[in-house]
Amino acid sequence: MSKLLHAAQLAGATALLTVCAGQAAAAPLQNKESVAMPAATDTDAHQWLEDVGGDKQLAWVRERNAKSEGELASTPEFKKLEAEILSILDSDAKIPGVYKQGEWFYNFWQDKANPRGIWRRTTLAEYRKASPKWETVLDIDALNKAENENWVWHGAQCLRPAYTRCLIALSRGGADADVTREFDISTREWVKDGYFRPEAKGGVSWIDQDNVFVYTDFGDGTMTTSGYPRVAKLWKRGTPLSAAEVVYEGKPTDMYIAAVHDDTPGFERDFVNNTIAFYNDELYLRGKDGKLTKVDVPNSVEKGVHRQWLSLQPREDWTVGGKTYKGGSYLVANFDDWMAGKRDLTVLFEPTERTSLAGATWTKSHVVLNVLEDVKNKLSVLTPGKDGWKRSEFVGAPAIGTIGVGAVDTDESDALWMTVSGYTTPTTLSLAEIGKKPEVLKTMPTFFDASNQIVEQHFATSKDGTKVPYFIVHKKDLKLDGQNPTLLYGYGGFEISLTPGYSGGIGKGWLEKGGVYVVANIRGGGEYGPRWHRAALKQNRHKAYEDFAAVAQDLIARKITSPKRLGIQGGSNGGLLTGNMLTQYPELFGAVVVQVPLLDMKRYNHLLAGASWMAEYGNPDKPEEWAFIQKFSPYHLFDPAKTYPPTLFTTSTRDDRVHPGHARKMMAKMEAAGKDVLYYENIEGGHGGAANNAQRAHMTALAYTFLWNELNK
C-alpha cells in the first residue's frame, strides 16, 4: 500500500535524472561573497523558443542538432562507441527484473529486436534457469505498427486475484502525459468498451472489476497549477467518464491528487492522497459511505500503511503523545488504534550524524530496514511479536556494495529480491528468505574491463566546513599529475541519494578509455536523510553548489585532475547544478554537459510541472524569494563578457516535465555571445531524454564524445 501511495505522491514529480568516495587535503573553496545580478526584466529576447512544437522553433532545433551531429557524431570513434553502448543496452544477458502477479513473474524488456519493448511473463522455475522461456503478453512495437503510433510503455496495474484484467498506461513519445487502456491477459486483447482514460497526466487505479479510481484532466479547472490532477473520482464500469463521482477535490495550488485501493486480503481500504508539495501531503481514509477521515499526523511526515501497521517518517523533530521523535526516524503504530486516537509509537530506526534510512521493505511478517552509513548500505530485520519488536541481522547481506531489497509477495511470504551492485562489480539478483542464505539467481555480465579499476571514498570540505562525501573510480596505477580526464557527476536535490551502481555505459564510454569517474554526494540529496536535503533548500540552495565546487577543488588539490581536464555532467535538477557550475565557477572546469535542465529560474514555475518544485527552490513571483532565487538562476547569471568552458546542452522535445525552453534559451543566449557551445534536442524521449535504446545510446555517446574531446585537448 505504501508503495502505491508513494507512487501517487511522486507521479510526474521531479524524481528526475539520476545516473548511477580521509579528510580533504584542500581548504574549502571560497565562493564569491557577492554575485553581480542583472536587473530583473520582463523582456526576454529568447522567450519565443518556449513554443515547443512551432515550425520556426523546430527549424532552430534541427539546425543546431545538425551542427552538433557534424562535430561529434561523424567520426568512426563515435560510431564505435555508440555501437558499443547500444550493444550493452540491447544485451540479452542483462538481468530481467521481475515482479510477481499470481503464479506468474512479469518483466518489461527492450532489446535490438524489441526497441519499444515487450511485456512478458514466466514461472519461477523457468526464471531460475540461465535462459528462461518467456510468454509475450503485449508487444509494444507490434502495437505501434498496427496503430501507427509511437507508444512508450508506462506500466500496468492488474486486478487481483485473477490478475487477468489490467490497466495499461501508454505514452506518446515518452512524455509524462499518457493514456490508460484496459487489457485482458487471458485473450491478449484490449477490452471492448473497457476503461479508457484519454491522454493526460494522471492515472487509474482498480477498486474491483466494475469500479476504479481515476484522477486526470476532466476539463477546465480540474488540473493543478503544476499540471497534475486536482480531482479524484470513482468511475463505474459502463458509464461515461463524465459521470464519474467526485471523491476528493484539491485546491488549484495543490500539486497532485490521487485515490488508491489497498487490496491486501483482510485489510482492504481506500485512501485519498493530496500532495500539496514535495514532502508535504495529506492522507485520508475513505469509508464505505464515502466519508474521508484524515490520518492525523503533520503533513511533512511520510506515511505508509501495511496490513495492520501505520509507518511514519518525520522529517523534523516531532513531539506527539508527550514524546519527541527525531527527524529522519522510522516509527510504527497500529493503524486502527491511531485512527481511534491512541498515540503509541515504536521507534524502529533513529538516525545519527552518519546514518539515514534508505528504505523500509515490508514482507508478510517482517520489515527490513536499509540504512545508509556514510553512503554505504546495511540491512537489518525487525519482527513484531507479543513482547514488542525484535531486531536481527539480515542473513547473507554483503559487507560491500549498494544493496537494494524488494518484497516478492507481501501477502503470502517473507521472500525478498535482493540486488547488489557497485561501480566496478556487475549487479547480482538474489532470492532471499528472511533468516536464510540468499540464492543468487542472476548476475549481470561484465560489460567493461574493471580489473585495473579501484573505488575510493573521500570527503571534501565545503565553504561552511561541512564534510561532503564523494566516490571516485580510477585506474590502480593513476598518476597524480593533474592530467587525468575526469568526469564529475552530481544531483543534489529532492532528497535523492546517489549510491554506487554498475553502469556498462560509464565503464565502456569513460573508465575503459582511461578516464576518472567521480560522484559527489552533495547537500540537497538524501544521503544523510532529511537534514541533508533541508540544508540546501530555497535560500540555502547555494550550499549544494558550494559542496560540488568543493569536491572539484579537492580533486584538483589531490592532483587527480586539473581544471582543463575536469568535466561535469548532470540532468534535470542536476542540470540546474551544472548550469550554476558553468556560470558561477567556470574557472574550475574544462567542459560542461547540461541535460534536460532547469535554467531560467524566473519563469520555471510557469513552465509545465515547474510549479510543483517551489517547495524546493522558492517562488520567483514573490520579490523576497526572487531575491535569493536569482542567485542560482543560470539564465540570469550568464555574463557575455566572461569566459566559459565548452558546453553541451541536451534535452527532449517531448519532455513535458522540465520544459525544453530552458535549454533552448540558454543555448541561444550563449550562442549569441559567441561562446563555445553545442546543442542537441531529441524529438522523442520525455524527461528521460530518449524513448528507446538506440536513442539512449546516441545521446550517451554524444555526451561522452564531447567530454573526451574537450578534456583531452
Residues belonging to the active site: 572, 687
Q: Which three cell numbers stand for residue 449?
A: 574491463
Residue type, 283: L
Q: How many CB atoms lie within 10 A of CB 42?
A: 6
Q: Measure the CA–CA gap between 99 and 66, rounded to whole angstroms.
A: 42
From 441, 426, 464, 448, select the one nearest 505 (Cα to Cα). 448
From 506, 554, 551, 558, select the one nearest 525 (Cα to Cα). 551
Q: Measure the CA–CA gap between 27 and 466, rounded to whole angstroms.
A: 11
Placement of cell 536569482 in the chain: 630
CB 684 within 8 A of CB 52: no
Residue/partner pairs of 177-185 with CB below 8 Å, 24 or more apart = 177/201, 177/656, 178/154, 180/204, 183/138, 183/156, 185/137, 185/158
State phi, psi for 610 to the nearest 5 degrees: -55, -35
Q: Which residues contact 268 (CB under 8 A, 6 or more apart)?
A: 261, 262
CB 681 within 8 A of CB 61: yes
Q: Measure the CA–CA gap between 409 and 415, rounded to whole angstroms.
A: 7
- What are the residues facing 680 on neighbouring strands? 650
- What are the residues facing 179 on neighbouring strands? 170
Q: Measure the CA–CA gap between 458 and 456, rounded to whole angstroms.
A: 7
Q: How many CB atoms lie within 10 A of CB 394?
A: 21
Q: Measure the CA–CA gap between 613 and 547, rounded to whole angstroms.
A: 21
DSSP string, 290-345: S-EEE--S-TTSEEEEETTEEEEE-SS-EEETTEEE-TT-EEEEEHHHHHTT----
Say if residue 563 is preceded by a cis peptide, omega within 30 of 0. Answer: no
